[in-house]
Amino acid sequence: MYLLQEILHFGRGRNSEAIKRLNWIHSVMQPNPGFVAAQICSYLGNSSRHLILRMWEDKESFTAFRATDGGQSYSKNRPEGIYEGQTVGREWEDIIDTPGDAKGNFLIRGIFDITEGRWDDYTTLRKSQDEVHKQTGGLQYSRNFKQLDEENQALMVIRKTSREDHLKYMESHLLADVRSSGPSGTFTAKGNEYYEIIDETTK
């Protein structure tokens, strides 16, 4: 899976307008081959900040879409001041996709700098932690991505039913066991953020 990530800061008093525009952009993407899903996620800490995730089967599918009339049109008519982008890693490729059996709109986003030569240890640790997510409940999916234009950076996106279910995971003795017995020194955490998915377009 190919993932495009953006963080947008909506203009004051323009949240509804911005969401409507982004939903329209995603509706333009939706019928194109290779489109998987697109999400608008509101940051639980600042109502103007939003995480935008657009998923495609591969980069080639997105590149083909961008060459269409629809793919070229939406970037040309953005209303001034509707939102401003924050510099973040834009292009990612999935390395782990762990499905759960729950449904929810609570999203955890984490960024990690991976220690040189430790990608295998990182994926091993994440897979073990995903098993804890499944055992403690509330997991819809846990996905990890490798940045395409930054050699040693990983993006973690976990979708759960609620913050409460995530706290059960964080306080679990199972997680404590994984952390104490698993590989250490594999990454430097750049911070976790919590979001609510407020709009989603799927194929």
pLDDT digits (tens, 9 = 90+) for 43-56: 999 999 999 999 99
**pLDDT confidence of residue 114:** 97
What type of residue is 106? F
* 58 within a domain of the structure (yes/no): yes
* 184 within a domain of the structure (yes/no): yes
**Same domain, residue pair 54 and 103:** no
Is residue 162's pLDDT more than 90?
yes
pLDDT grade for 21, boundaries at 50, 70 and 90: very high
**Residue after which a domain boundary falls, among 35, 60, 89:** 89
**Same domain, residue pair 84 and 101:** no
Q: Whole-prediction pTM value?
A: 0.95
**pLDDT confidence of residue 186:** 95
Measure Cα distances from 157 to 12, 82, 83, 195 in Å. 27, 26, 23, 10
How large is the average pLDDT for residues 57-73?
95
Q: Give the residue among 128, 149, 131 at the shortest CA–CA distance from 139.
A: 131
Q: Give the residue among 52, 147, 41 at the shortest CA–CA distance from 91.
A: 147
Structure tokens that stand for 82 in this block: 């509707």
Q: Return the CATH number at 100.
A: 3.30.70.100
**pLDDT confidence of residue 150:** 84
**Residue after which a domain boundary falls, among 89, 109, 127:** 89
How large is the average pLDDT for residues 111-119?
96
Is residue 100's pLDDT more than 90?
yes
Mean pLDDT of the chain: 96
How large is the average pLDDT for residues 115-133?
97
Is residue 175's pLDDT more than 90?
yes
Give residue 70's domain range. 2-89
Could you read off the pLDDT of 70-90 as tens digits, one per residue?
999 887 888 999 999 998 989
